[in-house]
Amino acid sequence: MNYTPAEMMTVAASRALDNRDVCFVGIGVPSAACNLARLTHAPNIHLIYESGTLGTRPDVLPLSIGDGELCETALTTVSVPEIFRYWLQGGHITVGFLGGAQVDRFGNLNSTVIGNYAKPKVRLPGSGGATEIATGAEQIFIVMRQGERSFVERLDFLTTLGHGRTGRERRKLGIRTRGPTMLVSDLCTMRPERETNEMVVVSLHPGITSEQVCRNTGWPVRFADTVVETIPPTSEELEVLRDLHARTARAHGTAGGNE
Amino acid sequence: MQFLTLEDAVAQHVHDGDQVALEGFTHLIPFAAGHEIIRQKRKDLMLIRMTPDLLYDQMIGMGAARKLVFSWGGNPGVGSLHRLRDAVERGWPAPLEVVEHSHAAMANAYEAGAAGMPCAFFRGYRGSDLPNVNPDIRFVPCPFTGEELACIPAIRPDVTIIHAQKADRDGNVLIEGIVGVQKEAVLAARRAIVTVEEVVHDFGLRSSNAVILPAWVISAVVVAPNGARPSYAHGYYSRDNAFYIAWDEIARDRETFQSWMQEHVLR
């Protein structure tokens, strides 16, 4: 079956989720990946959206973080202060799924501004839940389309901590959670190298060359000693994902956009 | 608590220069009340809201705000809030001062306001640049463990406005579904206006743990059917996702925006 780079990215991200995970979900690709996991290999995964819905099982992807579908299919719905204080800060989340406008080699994220903060060229939405998800969840998966302008040498603003500007900030700040353990793009999968915490390519999606990855990365990207080819999406994964997107498009005239 | 018309509630309780929080986390966003504030031409407001959404895009674009306190300013699932961006990037229609937080911070700050505390402590902002651009974000050591904790001032709005499903005849208010920070925002405020879909004789069968705001913490209850559209009211109508998508085009251009507001809000 043919598939798009975006489908490969969503499928690769979904495979990293485990049936026992309690996952704090963002809108866009993370939401598609988490629900794909739930509808395929991880039927018992617990999905939590920051609007307060615990254990939600949406039939269509929400357009916003607080669509009615999330509440109607949830085990229970709590207040927003409770979701951040008890459930996230309290240490009940195993995986946080994040994206942003820019990522650097240590998995730090910018979702605040392009350009200068006081006089921005582009004012982006801001942190939302990300800043505390990044330190409260046991580990973080980042999913983003790869390009020179998004995978950058230097962030214009560090909204959300990955491994910090030196790669070793977390320990220095006394943070005990693991931070970004995986960065999935439409070209490849990266994981932090032991010791340095620099994101290195561990897997190339089928048909993607290392040159393409280099061209689309703003820092001199490095590759792990062994780089494998990502297993292409199975027909079951593609069918479930396409059904989900089709149901979503019928429900609100979009494929479930990006936060 | 008084039952008032929307016009009277805004006239009596929202003043130029006030700190105003219109809350509702995606769900139950008080659009009707925000539109009345625009019609009454309130100025220099300090707008507070976790997710500014289309409503604050409209209020900012119409020049009602001098300052925005927020934690995520986008059109959910669609993209930018173009009026918010125009104000920040190009000072149109007026420069907008922004005080920027994370969701966890604002949720904690509302809770601190509701609890009568001067500030909120939480484990947050670690390693982020946000404390460098927002002097309200400080760090203090825990007196018992020494752990550095983030500390921000409580949110204490002059007036909070929310939308809810029902009030009973005495003006008690029932909120169901995604309840967001509405209870905290009401209890943190000096005055509170609640718009509702309908007034019922009594709430009837309900969970003992239903979210109910007693009439004595509310200044005014206003009957405003469809008052949360194009957001939604659980049990009444669903979110108009197509309009959220359409807003992207409407708000992108200053003139298109102004004529839309003229036609649909100012009338």
Q: Kindly state whether A252 is in contact with chain B, defined as any CB-CB distance less than 8 angstroms.
A: yes
Give me the pLDDT at residue A200, please: 98
Give pLDDT tens digits for B65-91: 999 999 999 999 899 999 999 999 999
- Enumerate the residues of chain B whose CB falls inside 8 A of the CB of residue A173: 126-127
Q: Kindly state whether A209 is in contact with chain B, defined as any CB-CB distance less than 8 angstroms.
A: no
Give me the pLDDT at residue A1, please: 82
Q: The domain that contains A29 carries what CATH number?
A: 3.40.1080.10
Dihedral in degrees, nearest 10, Cα atoms A120, A126, A132, A138: -100
Low pLDDT (below 50) residues in chain A: 255-259
- Enumerate the residues of chain B whose CB falls inside 8 A of the CB of residue A85: 104, 107-108, 111, 122
Domain that holds residue A216: 5-252
Give me the pLDDT at residue A254, please: 55
| B26 has a pLDDT exceeding 80 | yes
Alpha carbon B21 to chain centroid distance?
A: 4
Give me the pLDDT at residue A219, please: 98
- The answer for B 61-100 residues in CB contact with A (under 8 A) is 70-74, 76-81, 84-85, 88-89, 100
The reply to whether A259 falls in a domain is no
Mean pLDDT of chain B: 97
- Rounded Cα distance, A40 and A240, in Å: 8
The reply to whether A257 falls in a domain is no
Q: How many domains does chain A have?
A: 1
The reply to whether A84 falls in a domain is yes
pTM of the entire predicted model: 0.96
Give pLDDT tens digits for B124-150: 999 999 999 999 999 999 999 999 999
Give pLDDT tens digits for B197-235: 999 999 999 999 999 999 999 999 999 999 999 999 999
What sections of A52-178 are H helices per DSSP? 68-72, 80-82, 130-136, 169-172
| Mutation choice for B interface testing from A69, A75, A84 by most B CBs within 10 A | A84
Give pLDDT tens digits for B177-193: 999 999 999 999 999 99
The reply to whether A167 falls in a domain is yes
Q: Which residues of A10-47 are buried (b: 16+ CB within 10 A; e: fewer)?
A: bbbbbbbbeeebbbbbbbbbbbbbbbbbbbbebeebbb
Give pLDDT tens digits for B35-57: 999 999 999 999 999 999 999 99
- Rounded Cα distance, B233 and A82, in Å: 21
- Rounded Cα distance, A191 and A230, in Å: 13
Pick the CATH number of B2-101+156-266 from 3.40.50.300, 2.30.40.10, 3.80.30.20, 3.40.1080.10: 3.40.1080.10
Where exactly are the structural domains of chain B?
2-101+156-266
Query: B104 to chain A, minimum CA–CA distance in Å?
Result: 6
Q: Kindly state whether B26 is in contact with chain A, defined as any CB-CB distance less than 8 angstroms.
A: yes
- The answer for B 190-209 residues in CB contact with A (under 8 A) is none
Give me the pLDDT at residue A28, please: 83
Q: Is residue B156 within 8 Å of B113, Cβ to Cβ?
A: yes
The reply to whether A258 falls in a domain is no
| Mutation choice for B interface testing from A31, A88, A132, A175 by most B CBs within 10 A | A132
Give me the pLDDT at residue B177, please: 96
Query: B152 to chain A, minimum CA–CA distance in Å?
Result: 14
Catalytic status, residue A50: yes
Output phi, psi for A191, to 5 deg. -135, 155
The reply to whether A130 falls in a domain is yes
